[in-house]
Every structure is written in structure tokens, then in C-alpha cells.
Amino acid sequence: MKNRQVDRVSRRDCLQLGLTGLLAGGLAGGLRARQTATANTTDRQADACILIWMDGGPSHYETFDPKPEAPLEIRGQFRSLPTKTPGVHFSQLMTSLSRISNKLAVVRSICHNQGNHGAGNHYMMTGAPPRIPVGCGAYVSFHPSLGSVAAKLLGAPHGIPPYFSLPRMSRSGGPNFLGAKYAPFVVSDDPNSKSFRVPDVTLPASIAEGRFSDRQQLRREVDRLQRLAHAAAGDPVAAVDEFYQQGLQLITSPEAQAAFDIHREPDSVRERYGRHPFGQRALLARRLVAAGVPFITLYEGGWDHHENLFDRFEEKVPRFESTVAALIEDLDAQGMLERTLVVALGEFGRTPKINARGGRDHWSNAMSVLFAGGGTPGGLVVGATDRQGYAPVERILAPENFVSTVYRKLGIDPGQILYTPEGRPTHLVSDATPIAELMA
Amino acid sequence: MRLVRPSSCAATVLRPSWFFLLPLFLLTSVLTAADSAAGPAAPAGRVVTSEVPSFELDIQPILTKAGCNTGPCHGKQRGQNGFQLSLLGFDSDFDYQQIIEGGRGRRVFPGSPDSSLLLQKAVAAVPHGGGKRFDIDSPFYQQLRQWIAAGAPRRRPNEPRLVGIRLAQGQFILAAGETARLRVEAEYDDGSRRDVTHLADYLSNDAVVVAVDEHGKLIAGPLPGETAVMARFRNQIDVAQVVIPFRTRQDPEVYNALPRNNFIDELVLAKMQRAGVSPSPPAPDHVFLRRVYQDLIGRNPSVEEARRFLSDPSQDKKQRLIDDLLERPEYAEYWANQWADLLRPNPYRVGIKAVLNYDQWIRQQFRDDVPYDEFVRRLITARGSTWRNGAVTLFRDRRSADEQATLVSQLFLGIRLECAKCHHHPFERWSQTDFYQFAAFFADVGYKGTGLSPPISGGEEIVVVRRGGKVQHPRTGETLVARPLFGPMTGDRSATASSEEGDLRERLWEWMTDAANPYFAQVHANRLWAALMQRGLVEPVDDLRATNPPSNPELLAALGDYLREHDFRQKELLRAIAASQVYSLSSAPTTDNIADRINYSRHYRHRLRGEVLLDAIADFTETPHRFSGMPEGSRATEIWTHRIGSQFLDTFGRPDANQDPPCERSGESTVRQTLHLMNSPEIDQRTRASGGRAARLAASPLSEEAIVEDLYLAAFSRFPTPEEQSNGVQWIRRAGDRRREAIEDLMWALLNAPEFFIQN
């Protein structure tokens, strides 16, 4: 019986329906003519991107754009801190990052018009403003995210998912019309824990490999659910099929298993990243890059400081920023920084005037974004906000420019056109101009 | 190549339904309270040029249309280069003062209008960051100039007020690539009307389906689809729905010949006909069986139940099954579990005891089959001890009037007010004043006893109503009187409510459930529809914005009416939906409905909800759950807090109430889920459990044929095909004395197949 099964192609029906009714219009030609989206390896500057997502929207004042000349109610209670780069100051708590400012570029002049979390997340994560108004709590997706596009166009070595998001997906970090295959692989487990391992990527101890392959055969045999072949049908079974293949590859990939095994790192390295979940996730991200993963989002929430901003920063930021610095330095020491882009940002900046509760509210008119590696020149500041930090006055840049920069560095043409499953053409980024200073 | 449209049918089709007119009705009722002295009315359609232009009626619309007061320009907080206007001109007094008094008085010179900075900048006669907005010889310039020359008055005597706008045509059916024009008419409180098409702004909800330009020209995209297009003039909006049908030539007989079980089928088929899609054939009995079990009571049929239904030859077996299921005890647990998603408070804030009481309270309402309106009444007027009345946990969790108001309006009216806490939302009709007047219904909620003291919050708290509570406008500090979002109060028809007549929340409930308020019934009807049909008529299901119109307005209205006519007994609406033809359609598409994902022309497949799937696995493997703090054998739908650990449920998505803001439940599939079913120790142990189904069947004297039949009925709620049967039998026989292992492997394969965890 077994041999008979091996020879047999999958038994389930596949409903092959054309879109005859649908494509009576002018799109049939467009569909036929459509080109496969591509990445270009020749002017690619980075093989991978680690995106540190500071969910909630970090204050630009208390990170990379201090305004010591502004009145107290705007500049706040932190001092500005000279960095290794002459003339460039960060805010008081950014001590480790200021010491390696020669490896960093800070863009201070990105602004947009989406002042709530749902919309701001979407704009920065995808480069496209939400199509219709969305609320603060919204988790919306109208366009593929940076990570999903990178996953599709860059891929990863056999068996390893091309896009990770740790410990959770960011709100708009999904694939949208690219399909479930390019959704992030989420590792929610805490790599700082002694018992950390990525769950379910190894066979249960009781199941020998031979028995497992019998089971695969058997599953093929019993799986008769008809597939709806056309992507426009939105069949969830199509996603399941993708995931089943990905899952099989993952459990049979020694490279993936090794990348997940953070316990192989010496204690000294683990200490340097910080013995806390974010620190160890950053280390795991470095291991994933080394294994060939092109895009990793490190989601680190808790930046929505509507109240007690300064106390909360003192609790949160020293750990956070020393981990970011450790990551960049370690990548550099391993010779990986040159080909690994690290960016850190949130959805927007924060209001100039400190509110009555000692916090700052949402402010999309100005934000700072940190860049390092992947051919980014160090010791650089791009753009400037006005003397009180309200809005950019030099090199006014948009989320589109940010996203285009990341794409360009990864060798992805941000000006290319992608097609939805229905065949609708969609620009990857509406303004495909990267930030020239960062492209060196 | 273009789709051909039947020649005589112009781009029009239907008048806007009442739903689209609702916003107008709402605003009318709010605004008529203002001065209604009728001035010299402009005849309809005529642009008034002889009169002095009015600041609010003429000048501000120009500033908006020219883009002066948008977010990136002078409309942003702090303005642009020292000149600030309110965002999109919602604050006329502020804007007037900025123009007249700001800029050291240089913005308007009545003595020499052309030297006014306002005009000089607009035509870029002096350097202007925003560039040239219009020409000197444009009508915009002439009107502004005329107004300045007349001394830039704030108001004309007896000036009418804008009460609404209306699109001349509210529904369009266009061929791919076709264009059409929107026409917008403004209505004033003196009865006059005016064409403001050239002054309105336009926004398409999905520009790749249908785009709209600044003149209101609709441009249909190249593919079938539908979307809504909004027109905005001042603080008024109206919405057009535009459909690009899949097929334009569809024989009406095709639709007329289709069977109809009730009003739902009529309305769904009418929409399908408009959209040019035809329905798939009915699903086979076993597919219906599994679907209706999962949707009504959140579990699969047992082997015996499946066998009985599938072998029953009677005509009315579906209807009898629906009636039976609605009386099963699992009904209450399943629907309570869904409501718990919406209401579940953060245990770290409110304390675990309050969470348990709240959950038990919700479950009891469903066990007692309390009508929906009464359920809401008990909840939003709750008072008493958190240790005695679970419903008051709502007020323990949401502690201020504004938090309570946003929750209540979103859940029970489908109106999202969050934006209006801080500003007049540009895409909605609610102002800050509207919001805080609504919040004032909760002004008298007070607390006694132990408040929140995270992380423990264990003490008892008592929610009381004490007269004299205050809700203030955050900007003006004015104390606001409770006032409904639209329309008068129920009963005495007064505009506002006073706490002298008792608990203001009772008055709010009366207004919410008044027959004149369609939102209350519709948001719940939409939620129930979405639970069975996998997609709301409005999505998100609790976002009934005028700018987010339903895909089938007539159906939503009818479902809401049905719920109300049946005294808000949820089971009656569920019964009607489950009994409709459309509910039992096959998921397999036809050539012309394969891309349809909004007209219900076929059943939309989806992955089972985490709790339902986990219970299905327990039933299939015959291994009871062991949840911490719950009796063995409890079902996943009975879990009362997310603090009861389950790696399975975490992997398959459940909203985590500990997160702030709480995460929404995700129904997406992920590779982690696939891996969990394949490899997790939990699934492995359940499949191989010594007390489980595999062990029982292996030890039984049952023939291999009977075993395979049992497994297929248990896993897929159907008999195996002859081929499946013989393959399974061979597999088990071949294993010889490893019969149990072979059955385990077969079970593993069945529960890892999509037919097990995807509803077909």
C-alpha cells in the first residue's frame, strides 16, 4: 500500500476555475503581461534588516532630537548629551548609543499626518497611508509590510522562514495581498528563559522519523478537501497548504534548529545584550541574520508615554538603548554590520509641550529614526526640526522615503509594481525616493 | 476592451436608501436647535453673487476646497508660518479671529482688498510656502475679494445655517473604466438648497476599485468590485455606493428561479443580481451539518448525531436540527464565550474575583435566554457590589464617564467615538461636545469601597448612582447636560436628560433601544450575521459609520427589524439566518462568483475559532481537558479568563485582556498553528492517550471497516467514501498487532487535514 501511495499524486480535487466573467474587461492582458516582482542583487547594500519597532511612538525629544534651547515645558527635564560625533547631541539617557554615534545615522526630519497608533503603524510599516480613516486601537492592513515584501523578494535558505517578528507581529506587519506565505514567523517565547526553545519545530520524542513520514503519507491520503485554485477566491486552505510545507521544511532543517539555539552563545555575549527578553531577542535576531534570514522585526512596546514620561524613560530606556548599542557593536565585531541594516523607530514623535500628566501625546509632525549598518554612513544626522522640535525645517521627509531607503538597501526597487491576486496593479511605494544621504 | 453595459441603463440605479440619509437626519436634529430665523433664501441651485458672501457659507468652503486648512498646511496644530486655521474649518469663530485679527491685521484690508495678505498669498503674488492656490480671475478670488471689500463680516443678517448635504444620486453601477459625476447639494435651515459640487471634497474608500477626483468625477477601475465614496462639505458628509458588477448581462430568470426560504434569501439574491454574481449550489448535508453545529453551539456533532442526521430521509430535518441546537446547553456557553471577548476586563486591574463574577454573570444571561435589550440594560445600568453583581465589573474596569461612553457606544450602537474625545473627526459627524454630552449619561456613576490597586485589586467595590456628577468639556470646562447623539429622548421627547428623573443610564437605555434608533438592533444583527456568514454586512462589525456603508443596506435594515420585532430574542434571528438558503450554500465557487467575497454568493471558508477547535480535538481524541482551576472535562468555551493557561489557545489566537490596549482576536492561520497540530506534545499525548479514542477502538472487537467509519464520522462528520474506507482498512490491517498505533496515525492525519480545522 505504501508504495502505491508514494506514486500517487495528491488525491484531492483542485477546482480550476478561470476568471472568465471577471476578466472580460481590460485586465486579462494586464495579467498576462505582468512581470514577476524582483530584487536586484547588484546595487544591494544589505542582506538583512533588523527593524526595532518602538510601538507607541517614542518621544523624539528624549531620544535623538533634544532641544536644550527650548523652554522647560518643551525641552523637558533631561539634559542633552554630547556624542562621539562632534556637534551632535542625543538625549541624556542615550549613553551607550552616544558612544557609538560614529556608527549611526539619525534622521530627524520624517513627518506625516497619521497621528493615531493604528494609522501611524500602518504608514511606517508599509510606506502607505491607510486608505480610509482608522482608529487608534486599529490593527489594519491595506498594503504589504516591509518584512513581507522582503520575505517574498529575498527569500531565505531552505527551511528557514524569511521573516520573523519577535515576540509578536506589529499591527500592520502582515503580508496583505502577498498572501499568508509571507506573514511573519512569530516567536512569542522568551529567549531569556532557561528553557527557551522555539516550540513545535521538533518531532515529539515518541514519534520516530519513519513513523512521521508514514503519517505524512497518510495525511496526503485523507486530505480530500477541494482547493479553490484561484487566489481571488481567498481560500484559507491555500494558506494552510503553504504553512504545512513551511512547517515540514522547518522541522527538517538543521540550520533553522541551530539558529534558534540561543543557548550556544557564550554567557559573556548574552550578558552584553542584556539578560532580559528584549536583549536576548536582539541576540536571537543576530543569529537569525547569520542563518540567512533577510528581515526580522523586534517588537518592543511601551513607548506611548502620555504620562510620567521621564520616570518611565528612566526605567525603560537604559536597558533598551544599551541592547541596541550591543547589537550594533556585536554585528560590527562579527563583520556583519556592513551587510546588515538596523533601524529603530515607532509610529510617530511626541508633542512638544509636556502635558499636565507629565507626558507627551502623539505628534506625527516630527519624528526621529535611527539607522546603522548596511552601508549607512556613520556619524551622520539627516535633516533638522525647528528650534522647538515642532516640525522639520530641513530635508522634510516622508514615511515613503524611509521605506524606500530600506527597500533600496535590500536591493528591492521601491518603484516597482506589484499585482494583487485579482490582478490590480499597485505601486510598492508611491514615492520611491530613498534618503540619499543614507545611501552613500 | 470594455465590459458592455445594457444600453438604456444609465449609470444610475437606485435612490439612496434611508441608511445613507441617516446622517442627514442626525445632523438636522442637532442643528435645528440653533437660530432658525429664516432669512432671504437663495433659490435652489443659484449661486448667490449679488449678496455679500458669508464667512461660514461661502468663504470657509473656499478655504477648505483650496486646501488651506488641511493637516499638513494651516490646519495643523500651531498652524503654518504663524497662520493657523481649525482643521477643515470646523471652528468658524477661531478661523474668523485668525483671519481678521491675526498676522498683525495684514490678512484683510477692506479698504484695499487686493492688498490683503490672504489674497496675495493665495495667488502667490507674495512668496507662499503652499504655492498658488487659485488665479486672480477665478470665482474663488472674486468671492473672497467681495467679502473683504464688504468689511469681512462675520455673519450676514439672518444668515441660514447648513443642515446637511445630499448626493443627487447615492448608488452607481458602473462598467469597468466608466466615469460618472457626483452632484452635491447643500441644504439650509431656511429650506434653501445650493449646489456645492465644486466646493465639496471627495474621498474613495478604495481608490483602486473606484477613484474620485477633486471635481467629484467617479472613475471606475478595471475590475469588478464595490466601494463607497464620501463627499464632504463643511462638517457634513454623504456617501455614494459604487458597484462594478462581475457580469452586466445576467438573465433575471436565473435569479427568479432560485429557491428562497425567507426574507434573507430575497435580499441577498437581489444584491447578487445587482453585483452580477450567481450563487453556488447548496452544500451537501454533511457540510451543512458540521457548519450549523459549529456556528450555533460551537462544537461538532458526535458520531451518533452525525449518523442519525445523515441517514434521516425527512424533508424538514435541517429545520428540526436548527431548533434542537438552539435549545442545547452548549448554546449558552458558546455565545457567552463570544461575548466574553468583547467584555473581558483586565484581571490585573479589576481583580480575579471580579473577572469570575463577570464571566458567570454573562453566562447566566445566555443560560436564561435573556433578550438582548434586557441583557444590555442589566449591564449598562448595573449597580451594587463587585462581589455580588458580576455586571458591575464593567464599571470597575471602565472607571470614567468617557471610557464608559466609548465602550457602550461602540458595542451597542456601533458608533466609535474615540476620536471625538479630542477633536471633531473629519470623517465622522461627532464633535467633542457631542461626545461629552453623551458621556454625561454616566456622570452619576460613583464608587464606594476598595478601588483599583493593581496588581492585586482584590477588594470589594460598590458601584452606586449619586446625583450631581459632572462631565465637563475638556476645552471649555463647561459642565454638559446628558444628551443623546441624535434625536430626542424617548418618552417626553425632550432634547436632554436630567438626573432628577432617576438613573441617567436608564434614560440612555430607553433612547438606545427606542424604535427610532436603528443602530442598537443593527449592530447586534450585524454581529450575529457575521458569526454565521463569516463577514459582516458592515466590517468591522461594530463600525456603523455613514462613511462605512453596509454591503447590503436593505438586508441590514431587515435583520435589525427582525431582531426588534422578535423582542430582541437572538435565537430567533439565528434561526432565520441558519434556515435561509444562502446559509447552506456550498463554498465551492462557480465561474462568476469565484472572486466574490462580499455578496455571500458562496459560503466563505474559515478556520475554526481556537476554543471550538480545541474542544473538537478533545471530542475527537476522547481526552477531556484539564484546565487549571476548572473541573476536569470543562470545555474550552467555558474558560472564564485568559489567565487559565493554554498554549493551544495562545497559538490559535485569543484576545489577551492583559494587554493594554487589549489585543483583538485573530482568526488568521499561521505556520505556528500548523506546527502545533503536527508536533506539539499536547496533540501527541491526546492522540496516543491510553483512555483515548485510538486505544478504545484498538481494544474493541470492531471490524476495521467500522473503525474507519467511526473515525471519519468523528473527524469530518461524514461517512468515508468507498475508496477512503478501503484505504483506511488496508492501513489498519497492514499494521497487524500494531493496530492501535495505526489508528493513532490515522487520527493524526485526520486532525491535521484542513477538512478538520477549516469550516467548509
Contacts of A133 in chain B (CB under 8 A): 425-428, 547
Shortest alpha-carbon distance between residue A416 and chain B (Å): 17
List Cβ neighbours of A90 (8 Å cut-off, separation of 6 or more).
A63, A64, A66, A80, A81, A83, A97, A98, A101, A106
> Which among B376, B403, B330 is positioned nearest to B527, based on CA atoms?
B376
Mutate to test the interface with A, among B204, B678, B712 (most CBs of A within 10 A): B678
**Residue B261 CB-density burial (10 A; 0-12 exposed, 13-18 middle, 19+ buried):** middle
Kindly state whether residue B411 falls inside one of the protein's structural domains: yes
Whether residue A243 and residue B673 make contact (CB cut-off 8 A), yes or no, is: yes
Residues B711, B706: Cα–Cα separation, whole Å: 9
Q: Is A438 helix (H, G, I), strand (E, B) or coil?
A: helix
Residues B577, B173: Cα–Cα separation, whole Å: 28
Pick A240's closest partner by Cβ from B176, B674, B681.
Answer: B674
Pick B753's closest partner by Cβ from A113, A219, A226.
Answer: A219
- CATH code of the domain containing B241: 2.60.40.1080
Answer yes or no: do B112 and B222 share one domain. Answer: no
Shortest alpha-carbon distance between residue A204 and chain B (Å): 6
Q: Last residue of a domain, which of B227, B245, B263?
A: B245
Nearest residue of A to residue B276, measured between CA atoms:
A21
Whether residue B207 and residue A131 make contact (CB cut-off 8 A), yes or no, is: yes
Residues B224, B216: Cα–Cα separation, whole Å: 21
Answer yes or no: do B99 and B7 share one domain. Answer: no
Residues B110, B127: Cα–Cα separation, whole Å: 22
Shortest alpha-carbon distance between residue A98 and chain B (Å): 32
What are the grid coordinates assigned to B90, written together? 470646523
Cβ within 8 Å of B, A 298-337: none
What DSSP string describes B73-95? TTTSTT-BTTB---GGG--HHHH
Contacts of A422 in chain B (CB under 8 A): 223, 225, 595
Task: Decide if A200 touches B, using CB distance below 8 A.
Answer: yes
List Cβ neighbours of A245 (8 Å cut-off, separation of 6 or more).
none
Whether residue A135 and residue B418 make contact (CB cut-off 8 A), yes or no, is: yes
Whether residue B748 and residue A424 make contact (CB cut-off 8 A), yes or no, is: no
ipTM for the predicted complex comes to 0.82
Answer yes or no: do B422 and B344 share one domain. Answer: yes
Shortest alpha-carbon distance between residue B156 and chain A (Å): 35
Question: Using CA of residue B205, residue B211, residue B215, residue B216, what is the dihedral sign?
Answer: negative
CA atoms within 13 A on the CB side of B57: 28
Whether residue A133 and residue B731 make contact (CB cut-off 8 A), yes or no, is: no
Determine if residue A383 is left, alpha or beta; phi over 0 gives left, psi from -120 to 50 gives alpha, anything else beta. Answer: left
> Which among B150, B295, B748, B23 is positioned nearest to A216, based on CA atoms?
B748
Answer yes or no: do B9 and B109 share one domain. Answer: no
Task: Name the β-bridge partners of B236.
Answer: B233
Task: Decide if A180 touches B, using CB distance below 8 A.
Answer: yes
Whether residue B605 and residue A232 make contact (CB cut-off 8 A), yes or no, is: no
Question: pLDDT, tens digit, for every residue of B596-637?
Answer: 889 999 999 999 999 999 999 999 999 999 998 899 999 999
Answer yes or no: do B89 and B232 share one domain. Answer: no
Residues B301, B310: Cα–Cα separation, whole Å: 11
Whether residue B607 and residue A236 make contact (CB cut-off 8 A), yes or no, is: yes
Answer yes or no: do B189 and B120 share one domain. Answer: no
Question: pLDDT, tens digit, for every residue of B447-476?
Answer: 998 887 765 667 889 999 998 899 999 878
Q: How far apart are the first and last CA of chain A?
A: 63
Q: Which of A384-398, B340-354, B649-663, B684-698 has the lowest mean pLDDT?
A: B649-663
Q: What pLDDT does residue A280 have?
A: 98
Q: What is the mean pLDDT of residues B37-43?
A: 35
Contacts of A203 in chain B (CB under 8 A): 679
Q: Check whether B81 has a pLDDT greater than 70.
A: yes
Q: What pLDDT does residue B342 have?
A: 87
Answer yes or no: do B676 and B616 share one domain. Answer: yes
Kindly state whether residue B44 falls inside one of the protein's structural domains: no
Q: Are B158 and B40 in contact (CB under 8 A)?
A: yes
Answer yes or no: do B240 and B366 share one domain. Answer: no
Looking at per-residue confidence, does B545 or A408 come out higher?
A408
Kindly state whether residue B703 falls inside one of the protein's structural domains: yes
Determine if residue B559 is left, alpha or beta; phi over 0 gives left, psi from -120 to 50 gives alpha, anything else beta. Answer: alpha
Mutate to test the interface with A, among B250, B423, B594 (most CBs of A within 10 A): B594
Answer yes or no: do B420 and B480 share one domain. Answer: yes
Q: What pLDDT does residue B140 have?
A: 93
Q: What pLDDT does residue B74 have?
A: 86
Mutate to test the interface with B, among A6, A132, A209 (most CBs of B within 10 A): A132
Task: Decide if A353 touches B, using CB distance below 8 A.
Answer: no
Q: What pLDDT does residue B23 have?
A: 38
Question: Using CA of residue A61, residue A63, residue A65, residue A70, what is the dihedral sign?
Answer: positive
Shortest alpha-carbon distance between residue B303 and chain A (Å): 18
CATH 3.40.720.10, domain A39-202+264-439, yes or no: yes
Answer yes or no: do B487 and B353 share one domain. Answer: yes
Q: What pLDDT does residue B422 have?
A: 66
Kindly state whether residue B296 falls inside one of the protein's structural domains: no
Kindly state whether residue B576 falls inside one of the protein's structural domains: no
Whether residue A26 and residue B177 make contact (CB cut-off 8 A), yes or no, is: yes
Nearest residue of B to residue A388, measured between CA atoms:
B78
Whether residue B595 and residue A207 make contact (CB cut-off 8 A), yes or no, is: no
Q: Which of A71-75, B344-348, B498-502, B753-757 has the lowest mean pLDDT?
A: B344-348
Angle between helices B739-751 and B722-734 (to 10 degrees): 140
Q: Check whether B45 has a pLDDT greater than 80.
A: no
Residues B571, B573: Cα–Cα separation, whole Å: 5
Contacts of B589 in chain A (CB under 8 A): 15, 17, 228, 230, 233
Angle between helices B518-533 and B504-513 (to 10 degrees): 60
What are the grid coordinates assigned to A137, written together? 486601537
List Cβ neighbours of B501 (8 Å cut-off, separation of 6 or more).
B507
The whole domain housing B173 covers: 1-37+162-245
Q: What pLDDT does residue B31 have?
A: 31
Q: Tell me if the bond preceding B455 is cis, omega within 30° of 0.
A: yes
Looking at per-residue confidence, does A104 or B4 come out higher?
A104
Residues B61, B615: Cα–Cα separation, whole Å: 59
Q: In what order do the strands lie in the sheet with B179-181?
A: B179-181, B217-220, B210-212
What are the grid coordinates assigned to B117, written together? 495678505
Whether residue A225 and residue B591 make contact (CB cut-off 8 A), yes or no, is: no
Kindly state whether residue B537 falls inside one of the protein's structural domains: no
Residues A190, A427: Cα–Cα separation, whole Å: 37
Answer yes or no: do B358 and B498 share one domain. Answer: yes
Kindly state whether residue B269 falls inside one of the protein's structural domains: no
Q: Are A270 and A257 in contact (CB under 8 A)?
A: no
| Tally of domains in chain B | 4
Whether residue A235 and residue B177 make contact (CB cut-off 8 A), yes or no, is: no
Write down the residue that cell numbers 512521521 correspond to: A212
Q: Is A113 helix (H, G, I), strand (E, B) or coil?
A: coil
Residues A104, A85: Cα–Cα separation, whole Å: 10
DSSP B58: I
Shortest alpha-carbon distance between residue B53 and chain A (Å): 32
What DSSP string describes B465-526? E-TT---B-TTT-PBPPB--SSSPPTTT--SSB-GGGS-HHHHHHHHHHSTT-HHHHHHHHH
**Nearest-10 Cα torsion for B449, B453, B455, B457:** 0
Q: Which of B60-69, B441-450, B451-460, B644-653 has the lowest mean pLDDT?
A: B451-460
Whether residue A246 and residue B674 make contact (CB cut-off 8 A), yes or no, is: yes
Q: What pLDDT does residue B627 have?
A: 93
Task: Decide if A210 touches B, using CB distance below 8 A.
Answer: no
Kindly state whether residue B154 falls inside one of the protein's structural domains: no
Contacts of B78 in chain A (CB under 8 A): 390
Contacts of B588 in chain A (CB under 8 A): 15, 226, 228
Contacts of A164 in chain B (CB under 8 A): none
pLDDT band at B28 (very low <50, low <70, confident <90, very high): very low
Answer yes or no: do B193 and B338 share one domain. Answer: no
Neighbours of B2 (CB within 10 A): 12
Q: Check whether B132 has a pLDDT greater than 90.
A: no
**Nearest-10 Cα torsion for B46, B49, B52, B57:** 40
Residues A133, A126: Cα–Cα separation, whole Å: 16
Most confident residue range from A85-94, A411-420, B219-228, B486-495: A85-94
Q: What pLDDT does residue B46 have?
A: 37
- Kindly give the pairing relationship between strand B461-465 and strand B225-233: unpaired
